[in-house]
Structure 1
């Protein structure tokens, strides 16, 4: 879906050619000495360099005119002239310059001699007094042509701190990592690029490519709402991209938003009436979500001759038309062959209901479970409520009802309906008489009290305390420890996490959360110990690596270990804004201000992409700009940090603002 990776060629050096041409005639009379055995007396060695440049320009121009043979001959002649130029330099004890080496590398790249191209680019790098954008991009192109995408990424990343806002660097890094299927790394660079485009280059050639890339990446990484936002930015300019319209329909299907799903599928049908996939997907959506209008849509498909003679669309059409003979067997066979489809399961459930199948309740629960697993929470709840209405007609069915209410509560939780989820869980608790179910439902109720905007930590503690008297399990102590932590009762929190550890000493989460409570109590050695234990138990515990690395940085302790921990955390989750912030802070402490800004800007752009702004990141940016003797930008970020703080004003931040304001006024 992405454009081929291309970078701009080096600028044509017409002015330099003119200068070189004039220099051939600048020799004073009587001084026509032989400067190179390959040249006539009085002709400088730069003659060969000038001819090499001219041939290279001809090579690029021929390539643009699609004259491959002429282009190849020009690049070969350029190589020859540069070889002669370097021979002349050797005769007087000189080596190739950075410019001539880079030019020769580019010649070999165009000729497909990648080994020679890399050798000359390395020589150019060694000779160059500073890292240049053209040379970095040249080496990147060579690595890409070699198929060494990881090495191409390394070339760019090693110099990114020198060109932190360069769209070409960020686009290439996003694209390369996408090709390597490093989705988290790719989203990091594309998000940073979007940030640059929005603030510095609103007419960038990468604007819509970046929006499309972020749409796909956020879809892959399960950020569907951000994916929709980015795809919509893209479709504002490219309204007829059927691939993207179909992807939007898929995302809305995953979210259970059938209304918008239908809208995009209908757009595809309107723009491309021959699109069978969109027509068939729309048929399944109508069947599952809009049974009143489904017969009309299926009649339209019949008229358009888009109903096949077999398969799920045909079976759904049979059910809607009332042709149920042999349909149960066909649906069961189809489900067995296609276990990932939801519509045939719903069709089989509807058929069972119509035919009064005695296994209806079992089938209802199974179908709802599949809908839940496919994240169709509205559909799952609707199925469960229909099953519950059937059970209500039975006597002595309280335990069955308990299971249905518990599952309905799970659907409501996933939909963010916290109060409804609590009510359903309470109803399940009221109905059950079984001890194990009671313990499980109490745990769930206590968990729900801590979620969303309920903020009923005290009720959570009360429910868990009651349960712990009868059933002291590590998970109950752990959850109560979290509740105490939210209540800022850190001593009680530590005590409960410790009890959980006594009962299950191998669970790394218990140590991590006890470390956070120890940190609030200013017990650094205990915090450090628990974080190290977390990492020992789980070598991929990026949260513990970030926490410990940041603590070390804050206390100016173990700088190398802090750097190692944070780099490891970032390598595990490169698109985590908190980790990028921590790494930026370590770079600030090391006085590596360019790299600090790079990572802090990554953190800012990632946080904005996820829909929040972190005042800590803004304050860190202010600190870095102040260290770089840029009080204007420092003040801007300090004030931004102050405006985003939801708690009482930070005295240290207020003092910084006053100090910088005074510095600027003076």
Structure 2
């Protein structure tokens, strides 16, 4: 794959080196160390520069740049936030903060940053390319293609052509993908990334001879990469049922931990009737795989077949049931989409005397529950995730976790009475040892049902079981506030801040409201100022600061805050009412 292109960081030489400030000297040393590959020393001197001047642009930018380049996206984000407060029109900062947010799976914020960059400069082809890459990552392929076309129309680039071809490949538009790739290969016939993608496209269209020629070309060019290239080279033979030749390439890479490669070695060894080697390879596939992912289900299923052939029926049954716990459809040899899956035999038939229908239903219920949870994290989750969790419960109604999952779905769907019924069932089924999360969820439900005292009781139980969880204190703070216990709310927010500094801004915003309710306007103002300085702009922050300033009789400044809040959110009714009050008070 193409490495994402980073902006070049230049070292600027001053004509007045002797007059350099201390932070500038530290910065120059940092860049010198980075250029020599001495990364840790480079970061050390950047820290020195920022200790002297925390707002030093070059050092902040350099630290964000090097953290981004090393894949430390979470560490880069605070620097982008700080830089954007002082440079709100810098498209590059929005671009890279957007990409960093994308890589940390904060997709909504990432999209907002990239669109902001585009609004500031709609002529920059690289921003369109960034947006194409973003939509590709979130699997919105139609939008990805639109933005790549816009990027190419403004300034054709190999990256945009390659990514467009990759997107077309992802939606099985193989011919268009090949045409698009030719733009890369015409300018550089040895473009290794383009050749690899072309090989995959040709393999998927059954053009195996041409595929093999590309891998031979990669070898000749010195661009072969282990283990991926050898895996795909071997797969070309495997798909032709030439298993001995497939093994030649599958087994070429050494000292790897690629579970899929071990899996296909196992399948190929079984096909050539080498069961001992097949089991050894499948054991390695399972060892290195993420055993919680559905993609691992065939590993267990096919290992069950091999174990059954070797008369290890107990081990085979365990693997078979584990496969069903990941992909319940495998009982009919199907994948999650209902398509026939390539398997080495019929494990359900081979092992029918070794398991009960109740066992199958129980493990299948686990599989549907786990899938429901994954759907729950997606946009538009309601229909699919509820259908899956209902299926799980229909197979095994005694699982507390399934009831809890359904309660969460009802809660987020704002069906609070149904949520309460389900979470009560989950607590009952937990046999006197419910998870603290169950009490926390019930507390949230009670809070939404305007039962703050009951909410407090459940939040207390959750905190007693897990006192290090910041979110529990945060939610209890609002229940206490509903009872007019604002000092207790502030105490809980302080605990939350001490436990989870990454969510400091969220907690500060809550504390501001509580301070204002207690007429502690100086404290509220201090929190609001911190929130404004750390960004991004939020209407509610300016609203709360306006309330604090009104309390301090700073009416002109309050008017400015309420006006800013309304500008950010034109339908902010409360801000409009407070603005009227401030104007009248003045």
Counterpart mapping for 1:181-330 below 5 A: 182-192=75-85, 196-197=88-89, 207=91, 209-224=92-107, 227=110, 239=125, 255=138, 263-265=164-166, 270-272=183-185, 273-280=189-196, 294-296=204-206, 300-304=210-214, 305-306=216-217, 311-325=230-244, 327=246
Name the structure 1 match of 2:310. none
Name the structure 2 match of 1:615. 539
Distance between the aligned counterparts of 1:306 and 1:658, measured in 2? 76
Matched residue SS, 2:9: coil
Distance between the aligned counterparts of 2:218 and 2:12, measured in 1? 48
Cα contact 2:539–2:566 (8 A) shared by 1:
no
Distance between the aligned counterparts of 1:236 and 1:535, measured in 2? 40
Distance between the aligned counterparts of 1:501 and 1:370, measured in 2? 31
What's the CA shift string for 1:500-525, capped at 9, x where partnerless? 34555565543442223112221124
User: Alpha-carbon deviation of 1:404?
Assistant: 2.7
Structure 1, unpaired ranges of 5+ = 10-59, 61-105, 110-116, 119-138, 159-168, 198-205, 288-292, 374-379, 563-581, 589-595, 606-613
User: Alpha-carbon deviation of 1:314?
Assistant: 0.8
| 1:413–1:641 Cα change, 3 Å | same
Name the structure 1 match of 2:440. 478
Cα contact 2:452–2:479 (8 A) shared by 1:
yes
Cα contact 1:622–1:638 (8 A) shared by 2:
no
| 1:476–1:227 Cα change, 3 Å | closer
Cα contact 2:98–2:114 (8 A) shared by 1:
yes
Does residue 425 (structure 1) correspond to residue 405 (structure 2)? The answer is no
Cα contact 1:422–1:445 (8 A) shared by 2:
yes
Does residue 141 (structure 1) correspond to residue 42 (structure 2)? The answer is no
User: Alpha-carbon deviation of 1:211?
Assistant: 4.6
Does residue 402 (structure 1) correspond to residue 402 (structure 2)? The answer is no
TM-score by length of 1: 0.54
User: Alpha-carbon deviation of 1:616?
Assistant: 0.8
Name the structure 2 match of 1:643. 570
Cα contact 1:553–1:586 (8 A) shared by 2:
no
User: Alpha-carbon deviation of 1:251?
Assistant: 5.8
Name the structure 1 match of 2:155. none
Counterpart mapping for 1:414-453 below 5 A: 414-416=377-379, 417-432=381-396, 435=398, 438-451=399-412
Distance between the aligned counterparts of 1:275 and 1:458, measured in 2? 60
Q: Bigger relative contact order, structure 1 or 2, given CA contacts below 8 A and separation 6+?
A: 1
What's the CA shift string for 1:375-397, capped at 9, x where partnerless? xxxxx99x937525327976723
Counterpart mapping for 1:217-616 below 5 A: 217-224=100-107, 227=110, 239=125, 255=138, 263-265=164-166, 270-272=183-185, 273-280=189-196, 294-296=204-206, 300-304=210-214, 305-306=216-217, 311-325=230-244, 327=246, 331=250, 337-339=256-258, 344=261, 369-370=292-293, 384=327, 387-390=330-333, 396=357, 397-416=360-379, 417-432=381-396, 435=398, 438-451=399-412, 454-471=413-430, 472=432, 473=434, 474-503=436-465, 507=469, 509-534=471-496, 542=504, 546=508, 550=512, 553-554=515-516, 555=518, 557=520, 585-586=525-526, 596=529, 599-600=531-532, 602-605=534-537, 614-616=538-540
Distance between the aligned counterparts of 1:236 and 1:367, measured in 2? 42
User: Alpha-carbon deviation of 1:210?
Assistant: 3.1
Counterpart mapping for 1:163-182 below 5 A: 173-179=60-66, 182=75
| 1:225–1:275 Cα change, 3 Å | farther
Name the structure 2 match of 1:2. 7
TM-score by length of 2: 0.61
| 1:481–1:505 Cα change, 3 Å | same
Structure 2, unpaired ranges of 5+ = 1-5, 31-44, 145-161, 167-176, 297-322, 339-347
Cα contact 2:373–2:405 (8 A) shared by 1:
no
Cα contact 1:622–1:637 (8 A) shared by 2:
no
| 1:587–1:405 Cα change, 3 Å | closer
Cα contact 1:622–1:634 (8 A) shared by 2:
yes
Distance between the aligned counterparts of 2:109 and 2:489, measured in 1? 36
Cα contact 2:27–2:49 (8 A) shared by 1:
yes
